[in-house]
């Protein structure tokens, strides 16, 4: 094996390690943050507002964001796990060509989906507790932050990659 091949294998291993470590750490952070609310009744504001921005208010969410698919907890959990498995397989299969930013984005999306799926199957609802006090927005949690930030990072990473490919003449638009 040449030095270049060894280096490429090392980068793929590092990307896989980043994926697994970050995903596991994000799921753990989500689980720990939600455990503070075990046994509490949902409803009123528990703390805040912090800096006039965020309240802590426990909500048991049986649907998706903005109340879509209300009372579809099991179906949303299954869907979430299927999507997370597909994203994880795709990410790991494309490590050779993926950037670290793409790997990080997939890890956050997968971890967020798994974190909420754990809630759905274990409790029959998702524990949400972060509420913006300055605007009307659904109450959310650490898993949701992972999905949202991971998706935003993925869009940015792909846009930068496409821009780079177009500028270097590799893309179809450069012909």
For the chain, 175 residues long, give each residue's pLDDT as a single digit of tens: 787 777 888 899 999 999 999 999 999 999 999 999 998 999 878 888 888 899 999 999 998 877 777 878 899 999 999 999 999 999 999 999 999 999 999 999 999 999 999 999 999 999 999 999 999 899 999 999 999 999 999 999 999 988 877 777 755 544 3
Q: What are phi and psi of 131, to 5 degrees?
A: -130, 130
For the chain, what is the domain count? 1
Active-site residue, 119 included: no
| pLDDT value for 127 | 96
| pLDDT value for 166 | 75
| pLDDT value for 100 | 95
| pLDDT value for 5 | 76
Find, among 4, 3, 27, the residue nearest to 108 by Cα.
Answer: 27
Catalytically annotated residue among 30, 55, 119, 128: 128
| pLDDT value for 174 | 41
Active-site residue, 173 included: no
* Full residue range of the structural domain in which residue 78 is found: 3-174
DSSP alpha helices (H): ranges in the chain? 3-35, 73-93, 100-123, 142-168
Query: Residue 45 and residue 59: Cα distance in Å, rounded?
Result: 10
Catalytically annotated residue among 30, 55, 119, 144: 144
| pLDDT value for 13 | 93
């Amino acid at each position: 094996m040449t030095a270049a091949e060894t280096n490429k294998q090392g980068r793929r291993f590092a990307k896989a390690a980043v994926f697994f470590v970050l995903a596991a750490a994000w799921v753990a952070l989500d689980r720990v943050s939600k455990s503070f609310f075990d046994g509490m009744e949902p409803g009123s504001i528990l703390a805040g507002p912090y800096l006039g921005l965020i309240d802590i208010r426990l909500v048991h969410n049986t649907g998706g964001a903005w109340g879509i698919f209300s009372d579809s907890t099991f179906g949303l959990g299954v869907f979430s796990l299927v999507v997370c498995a597909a994203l994880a397989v795709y990410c790991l299969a494309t490590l050779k060509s993926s950037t670290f930013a793409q790997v990080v984005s997939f890890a956050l999306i997968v971890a967020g989906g798994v974190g909420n799926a754990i809630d759905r199957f274990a409790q029959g609802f998702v524990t949400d507790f972060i509420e913006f006090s300055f605007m009307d927005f659904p109450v959310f949690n650490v898993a949701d932050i992972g999905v949202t930030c991971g998706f935003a990072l993925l869009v940015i990473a792909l846009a930068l990659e496409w821009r780079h490919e177009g500028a270097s003449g590799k893309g179809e638009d450069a012909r």
